[in-house]
Amino acid sequence: MTTSTSTPTTALPKATFRHVLRSEWIKFTSVRSTMWCLGTFFLLMVGFSALFCAITANQWGKHVEEIVNFDPVTASLAGVTMGSLAIGVLGVLMVTAEYGNGSIRATFAAVPKRTQVLIAKVIVLALSVTAVTVVAEILAFFIGQALLGSAKGTGQSLSIGTFTVPDHPPTVSLGDPGVLSALITTALYLVALSLVTAGLGFLIRHTAGAISAFVGILFPLFLLVVLLPAAFKDRLEKFLPLQIQQTVVASKPLVGTSALSPWHGVLAMAIYAVILLGVGAVLLERRDA
């Protein structure tokens, strides 16, 4: 007579959303591409903005048409266009990196509710981009204003009709009208942009394809709309991310355009992000890993 013995198996603890969030944070901070993207954004945001302000201060008065519509805040945030590319790539890699190396299967095996993974990625990405963006744009603002203020005036002002051109670049402080609002809307725009590209990542699930779609939306689509007849151009251009970007960094309304207001522009970007992430969440549950 023989007796069989079996060792009891212990069930793995159920992953809570707190565990999923912590896991996504560890993955986000331990990947080199994250630091490269955030570091590149920081350097472009601060460095290019400082370079633009230095050149503006040195060349002030040589191009009158640029002086008339000059905005000190926009000058200090000139690095947003270049920096947004790094932020967009970061949003894509937040999602597609796991699909590329196959680790997404292990993630979904540990977390059967796949939408929890999506929500956790969104939270980690949004908070990280917010923190880095706020620091970068505040630093870019103060450096830019210092460089603009260092310009040596000629002591002579130039009048163009009813407009008087100062002999040196104007500067602003955080307390001036529209300045703090421009900094906030710029940060929110960049956060929304990262979520838009994360949504593209969930839809396409391939790094090169998602980045190509992002760059195609940001630049070629803008150029295509610009070539359309004026009736169509005015209606479509203001909803494009690149046009919204030009609006949110300004402390005063853009002259001669039908652009959305900065806050409406941020709202439009948020709607784009919600739509793409919503579709991504549906496909996440229906498609195989």
In this predicted model, what pLDDT tens digit does every residue of 73-100 receive, in sequence order? Answer: 999 999 999 999 999 999 999 999 999 8
pLDDT, position 289: 65
Tokens of 11: 């069930």
Higher pLDDT, 220 or 129: 129
Confidence of residue 1 (pLDDT cuts 50, 70, 90): very low
Q: Answer yes or no: are the C-beta atoms of 156 and 167 closer than 8 Å.
A: yes
Axis crossing angle, helix 241-248 with helix 262-286, rounded to the nearest 10: 140
Tell me which H or E stretch contains 219. none
Q: Answer yes or no: are the C-beta atoms of 268 and 239 closer than 8 Å.
A: yes
Arithmetic mean of pLDDT, 131-152 = 92
Distance CA 93, CA 76 (A): 28
Q: Would you list the DSSP string of 1-26?
A: ------PPPPPPPPPPHHHHHHHHHH
pLDDT, position 201: 94
Higher pLDDT, 150 or 67: 150
Tell me how far CA of residue 234 lies from CA of 152, 186, 192, 240, 248, in angstroms: 40, 23, 23, 11, 18
Confidence of residue 167 (pLDDT cuts 50, 70, 90): low
Arithmetic mean of pLDDT, 210-234 = 82
Averaged confidence pLDDT in the chain: 86
Residue 223 has pLDDT above 50, yes or no: yes
Tracing tokens 């963006």 back to the chain, one arrives at: 133
* Nearest by Cα to 193 from 278, 115, 265, 118: 265
